[in-house]
Structure 1
Amino acid sequence: MKHRGRHRRRRRGAALRAVLTGAALALTATATLISTSQAEVTEDPGTLKPLTSAADTGRLRLQERLVPARTLDRLAASMGRPVGVDAVLRDADRELREAADCSAGDRASLPVEPDPARAYCWDPADTATTDWRPASVTTSGDADDDGVWGSHRVVLAGWTHSTTAGRPGERGLARIALVDADDPAHLAYRWALLVVPVDGGRDYRGLASGITGMVWYENKLLVTTTAGSADALYVYDLDRIQRTTADAPAIGRVPGGWSAGGYRYVLPAVGSYRYTSGPCAAAGPPCPGALALDRGTAPDSLTAAEWTAPGGDRPARLWRYAFSTDPARAGLLATDAAGRADPVEAYRTRAAGIRGVLSYRAPGADRSSWYVGQLPGTQDGHGGMWRQDTADARAARCGADASERCWAQGAGSLSYWQETGEVWSLSDRMLFALPLAALDGSVD
């Protein structure tokens, strides 16, 4: 198991890329005809406008709130010694299928342009209904720059349950799929339910929140929360996964042990970040809808995009926070002595319905490019993908009419795996990866 407080700099990129290239799936075009509704052109969001005034940046200030160590230790003492990611992956009980073995409906949800290099659909047991929907992704390429965590290459996918459908006990909850991605042709996964310790660690409750964005950095997992929540982000520790000891419908302590509504693993929150100016709102702090890691800054940074209604005319904000470089604060944001995190960069964009964000500065470039994946105004069909900076805005285009609705259906977040040069994302039906170079080429 690797040391958590630092990055290993082993370079295995050439061999790994050869494996990935050899295993890459040449996908057929997912759409030969684009419907009239899909061919509608998205309004150009224009260039990014820097936000520098104290009034603008002050709304983005966060207050860190860490769960006391005694609370986490009390929970672990009662549930048993925490386990790590490797232990969960050894217990994987579901498989992802390669695109060739997925339904035409699944494949139709993939981007039209650029074509994914690899794509996978989930175990049918998880897609038989739409009660649970995937929305966010991060990888061990975010967690550590050599791309490996413990002894595995890992993808994490965040799913959120409907607030109205399915079993009442699951409504509005969040879970993550821990995916063993060592073999690109055979991906297997296991679920863990996200929970929050209560009563000083004597119990826990399910996290009732939509996780449309998440980033795994060092041993911490940061996830977005539902609009209107007092907290903007929740923080989890991947070294503190707990096994449940009872199989019951309830979530939390039950007679005879600990249960999570049928899930074998739970991940208890270790902290959160709350806006100092109050819950997110249209006129106040932005509701973060997408997150990503940017390793091109010094120090590494967390990028975020504001959620606004698809097709609306309210501008959205893009911004970033620096990660702490203190080994004792691995995976947490940089804060002042009072535990406050201020943005180090912020912009306004006219893009709406942003579900994916990625910031990347190419070698030799004088500024970063921001990629934003959008839902369509109708919230149905393919979305758009734009690359923006302070001087330009370009869209991926497809079809004879050069439609800008070329990105995935029900698009999810974006995660750049630096070592392999891949961008991972999700549609509402599939998990997929494509080279950043292909994404960049599609918007030139």
Structure 2
Amino acid sequence: MKHRGRHRRRRRGRALRATLAGTALALTAAATLISASQATVAETPGALRTVSASSGAGRLPLAEHRVPERWLDRLAAGMGRPVGVDAVLRDADLSLQRGARCPAADRRDLPVAPAATRAYCFGGADTRGWRPGAVTTSGDADDDGRWGANRVVLSGWTRGGAGGSLDEPSPERGLAKVAFVDANDPARPRYAWVLLAVPVDGGRDYRGLVSPLSGMTWYQDKLLVTTREGDRQALYVYDLHRIQRAGVASGAVGRVRGGWSAHGSRFVLPAVASYSLPAGGPRPAAVSLDRSTSPDSLVAGEWVPADGERRTRLWRYALSRDPARSGLLSTGASGRARPVAAYESKAADVRGVLAHGSAWYLDRAADEPGAHGTLWRQDSGGAGAAECGPDESRHCWSGGPGSLSYWQATGEVWSQSGRMLFALPLASLDRAVERSSDR
């Protein structure tokens, strides 16, 4: 039913892109935001190196584990009939500020070059004590860019944590929640919070997901998020049809006197599956969707510190075409999803990864607090990045590390840095890289 009127939506999408192209944000003094202490040119990571996906560094099978259906049904029986994304958007009563109205300190986190064409900021009071993480959109969920009739952006946040570190947070500080942003009116986006949870006790209760949200993608009816919870968990899977209302407003999580609580959020989303790693294997820290492949694929990248002695590994996993497995990875008879391709990159401290066509885009974090990072475009032929400022620095990307998500219907890349949520055309990224390569 959600695919009816797809061709009309595509025509509306083309009209929207034309409107957005003529309304780029005038974000003040962007070129002056580069710190004088930054290096003039970041060291290039060179070309991507293909490695075997079935052995050695490229081997990373993910074992699928489904939450028993009876657990989910028992939880729904206790909490009430699940609701969908539309119900969350109808309750969205928190506003994002448009970029020009955001505090100067927040705007400093935006990219210098190429500049964001759309930017918004979350309120300080609403996000105090929470750390921003991953971003995905309804552009990932469906190729027409909408979920039903709605354009939606999802922004992940983690309670507490140590700055930009990917270390596992403590249970009392590591709760994860997602802002469901109603993006139907670009001039007035509004949002509501949904707490991520994991069913326990046979579905009689749930606990909060305790993990940084460094990677997240929404494909069909599933939301896949990276996790550092436990020694072997790599991804948790959430079904967007199984959002539950939490009727008790308290700081607790789970079943409480009088009903159910979600740490102040009005909605909670219980996991329906997870993917675990081999013992001692690498851990994906960033994920995104690639619709340029057939079938569509999930791409993932690990985090290697800047002073690490090995290369960053990247993987590609095929997504299932089986209607009974909507939104899940393609698995073999053993119930494991195996990468269909793997690569190594010399780019370190990668916090966001995106693949489209033959190009990979790697968001490398800044070398020091308050500085800007670098967004590398890398393929088998080499690497390039935008240059900015009189010293031709490549530290031109956003100030804080953030994931990357490509909205194919509009041609935009979405990301998040600090409290800023922003978008810009993928074509502008490519042009910026090409201009710097021609110099």
2:386 maps to 1:396: yes
Question: Residues 259, 135 of structure 1: CA spacing in aligned structure 2 closer, same or farther, 3 A cutoff?
Answer: same
2:117 — aligned with what? 117
Deviation for aligned residue 1:57: 6.0
* TM-score under structure 1 length normalisation: 0.91
Question: Residues 9, 67 of structure 1: CA spacing in aligned structure 2 closer, same or farther, 3 A cutoff?
Answer: farther
1:85 — aligned with what? 85
Q: What is the distance in 1 between the residues matched to 2:225 and 2:86? A: 21
2:156 — aligned with what? 158
- The letter of the residue matching 2:155 is A
2:67 maps to 1:67: yes
2:33 maps to 1:37: no
Show structure 1 runs of 5+ residues with no match.
Answer: 279-283, 362-367
Deviation digits for residues 323-348 of structure 1, max 9, x if unmatched?
A: 00000100000001221100011000
Q: What is the distance in 2 between the residues matched to 1:31 and 1:226? A: 36
2:434 maps to 1:432: no
Q: Which moved more, 1:305-314 or 1:210-219?
A: 305-314
RMSD of aligned alpha carbons: 2.1
Question: Residues 219, 345 of structure 1: CA spacing in aligned structure 2 closer, same or farther, 3 A cutoff?
Answer: same
Answer yes or no: is the 8 Å Cα contact 1:31–1:108 preserved in 2.
Answer: no
Answer yes or no: is the 8 Å Cα contact 1:299–1:323 preserved in 2.
Answer: yes
1:337 to 333, 336, 343: 333
Answer yes or no: is the 8 Å Cα contact 1:79–1:258 preserved in 2.
Answer: yes
Q: What is the distance in 1 between the residues matched to 2:251 and 2:103? A: 32
- Where 1:235 maps in the other structure, the secondary structure is strand
Q: What is the distance in 2 between the residues matched to 1:54 and 1:303? A: 16
Answer yes or no: is the 8 Å Cα contact 1:57–1:343 preserved in 2.
Answer: no
Question: Residues 397, 164 of structure 1: CA spacing in aligned structure 2 closer, same or farther, 3 A cutoff?
Answer: closer
* TM-score under structure 2 length normalisation: 0.92
Question: Residues 227, 311 of structure 1: CA spacing in aligned structure 2 closer, same or farther, 3 A cutoff?
Answer: farther
Answer yes or no: is the 8 Å Cα contact 2:59–2:339 preserved in 1.
Answer: no
Deviation digits for residues 401-429 of structure 1, max 9, x if unmatched?
A: 11111110112011111011100011112
Answer yes or no: is the 8 Å Cα contact 2:196–2:208 preserved in 1.
Answer: yes
- The letter of the residue matching 1:123 is G
Deviation digits for residues 351-394 of structure 1, max 9, x if unmatched?
A: 11111111111xxxxxx100101112335411111111111111
Question: Residues 268, 29 of structure 1: CA spacing in aligned structure 2 closer, same or farther, 3 A cutoff?
Answer: same
- Where 1:263 maps in the other structure, the secondary structure is coil
Question: Residues 196, 227 of structure 1: CA spacing in aligned structure 2 closer, same or farther, 3 A cutoff?
Answer: closer
Question: Residues 80, 392 of structure 1: CA spacing in aligned structure 2 closer, same or farther, 3 A cutoff?
Answer: same
Q: Which moved more, 1:307-316 or 1:337-346?
A: 307-316
Answer yes or no: is the 8 Å Cα contact 1:7–1:145 preserved in 2.
Answer: no
Answer yes or no: is the 8 Å Cα contact 1:374–1:385 preserved in 2.
Answer: yes
Question: Residues 33, 26 of structure 1: CA spacing in aligned structure 2 closer, same or farther, 3 A cutoff?
Answer: closer
Answer yes or no: is the 8 Å Cα contact 2:133–2:213 preserved in 1.
Answer: yes
- Where 1:32 maps in the other structure, the secondary structure is helix
- The letter of the residue matching 2:144 is D
1:244 — aligned with what? 246
Answer yes or no: is the 8 Å Cα contact 1:30–1:112 preserved in 2.
Answer: yes
- The letter of the residue matching 1:326 is D
- Where 1:443 maps in the other structure, the secondary structure is helix
- The letter of the residue matching 1:375 is A
1:421 to 411, 415, 418: 411
Q: What is the distance in 2 between the residues matched to 1:285 and 1:353? A: 18
- The letter of the residue matching 1:148 is R
Q: What is the distance in 2 between the residues matched to 1:39 and 1:139? A: 34
Show structure 2 runs of 5+ residues with no match.
Answer: 164-169, 435-439
Deviation for aligned residue 1:27: 2.8
- The letter of the residue matching 2:401 is A
2:360 maps to 1:370: yes
Q: What is the distance in 1 between the residues matched to 2:143 and 2:33? A: 40
- Where 1:266 maps in the other structure, the secondary structure is strand
1:221 — aligned with what? 223
1:193 — aligned with what? 195
Matches within 5 A, 1:20-419: 20-21=20-21, 23-32=23-32, 34-52=34-52, 54-56=54-56, 59-127=59-127, 129=128, 131-163=129-161, 170-226=172-228, 229-275=231-277, 277-278=278-279, 284-361=280-357, 368-419=358-409
Question: Residues 114, 327 of structure 1: CA spacing in aligned structure 2 closer, same or farther, 3 A cutoff?
Answer: same
Deviation for aligned residue 1:220: 0.1
- Where 2:77 maps in the other structure, the secondary structure is helix
Question: Residues 227, 36 of structure 1: CA spacing in aligned structure 2 closer, same or farther, 3 A cutoff?
Answer: farther
Q: What is the distance in 1 between the residues matched to 2:118 and 2:190? A: 15
Identity of aligned pairs, percent? 62
Answer yes or no: is the 8 Å Cα contact 1:140–1:154 preserved in 2.
Answer: yes
Q: What is the distance in 2 between the residues matched to 1:220 and 1:420? A: 21
Matches within 5 A, 1:8-23: 8=6, 11-12=10-11, 13-21=13-21, 23=23
Q: What is the distance in 2 between the residues matched to 1:228 and 1:45? A: 32
Deviation for aligned residue 1:28: 3.3
Q: What is the distance in 2 between the residues matched to 1:140 and 1:164? A: 30
Answer yes or no: is the 8 Å Cα contact 1:291–1:357 preserved in 2.
Answer: yes
1:365 — aligned with what? none
Answer yes or no: is the 8 Å Cα contact 1:94–1:123 preserved in 2.
Answer: no
Deviation for aligned residue 1:20: 3.0
Question: Residues 58, 436 of structure 1: CA spacing in aligned structure 2 closer, same or farther, 3 A cutoff?
Answer: closer
Answer yes or no: is the 8 Å Cα contact 1:9–1:145 preserved in 2.
Answer: no
- Where 2:233 maps in the other structure, the secondary structure is coil
Equivalenced residue count is: 427
